[in-house]
Structure 1
Amino acid sequence: MAPNNKANKNKQNKQNKKGNQDNKSSNSKKRTVKKSSSSCCKYLLGSFVLIGAIGALIAYDTQVIGNGVFEKSATGKWLKKAGLLPYVESAWYKTMAVSARGYQWAEKNLPVYLKPAFDLSCDLLKIIRNAVFNIFEKLRELVSTNAPGVALKLEEVYSIVSTKTIEIFNITREYLAANVFVGSLSPENIGKALNQTKIAAARYYSIFHQKVDAYAQIQ
């Protein structure tokens, strides 16, 4: 019987060692998967940032140096010499076409999804406001019932603070009107600048939409 027991013990020891090795290998595999996934996320994010930066530089080069024509830009001239211009230009226009269609879809459909979320957030804010107001009213009633003298003192302090705040606001407003908001910073000039900014923004938005519509029609 002794040899059989010894053989069984050796067999169990081998199985235990194998199990420990399997656990170690599985743990190492999990750590490797986690490291690879995190590194993939970092590389993916870096790739998007790099592609965005390259796209911005090419767009700037096309708009400023090429006067809106990609072939006349510095990048286009270099690609033309290398014989890669037709392929890169085709890929560029396809990318812009897909982006334009995506922008049109988002502009059309996202407000449909955003409006319920906005309404829900407004309702939540109203509920929170009403809850805070009710809590304040309960506290005021509790203080008035149990400590009427404290309530009167608080009302006096609130009245004094409100009066002083209004006085400081009026003094500040008069000072700014007399010493700061004059000349180019006068209300009239500021209003004109705001109107010009609105006109320029509307013009840019119109041009942007024209370009989006043009790119979206590319097949």
Structure 2
Amino acid sequence: MTPEETGKAYDTITHRWTRPEFNQKNGITAYQKALSFLQDTLSQEPDALPIEALKDGPNKRGYALDIGCGCTNRFVPIIESAGLTYEGIDVSKEMLAIATTQLPAHTFYCADVCTFTLPRQYSFISAWDSFWHIPLTQQAPLLKKLVNHLDDDGVLLFSCGGTGESGQHTNEVMGPEVYYASLGLHRYLEILMEAGGFIRHVEFDQYPELHTIIIVQKKLSKNKAE
């Protein structure tokens, strides 16, 4: 399936995220963990603002990109509380229609992140329960692209299938046919390190399921490290 086809599938199941019983806390702990590495880096910089000052307004720390942002906007408050300006991207028009209705002043892109030209560098990039919908052949190039678009010390968080080998399949568990793929945990880590990332955290957070959290931080540039 192409990302566009995946988007059309999600267009038909927005109700799964808007119903009252949806767990709005899903993923929050992972975001708190990932953003803590960003805060730790800031606290080590002598000229940086104190953490409390980051709540005074947006764009004190740069921008955040939420890939496969969906319609709940549940990650927006935690990202903005870290002093970041939030942007979301999704291939589902209906998901974004709901998200933008709730937050009309925020920036949302309806696009395939694989082919989309990212407009800027980001301090934080996340892809919660969305990266596995990326076609298998495009996952490695996309990871490199995302790390390249991180600021120095920027943090990337994504969830994936922590399989031993690469593979892909489709199923109809949610209703429409949806595509899933994984490069395998070791390959993900290899790609991220080759791209200049430092692995901060890996967790099978729903064990024995293979749902896996990976957090990587972009290494300091040579000049900044010196």
TM-score per shorter chain, which class? under 0.3
Higher relative contact order (CA 8 A, sep 6+): 1
**Is the helix fraction higher in 1 or 2?**
1
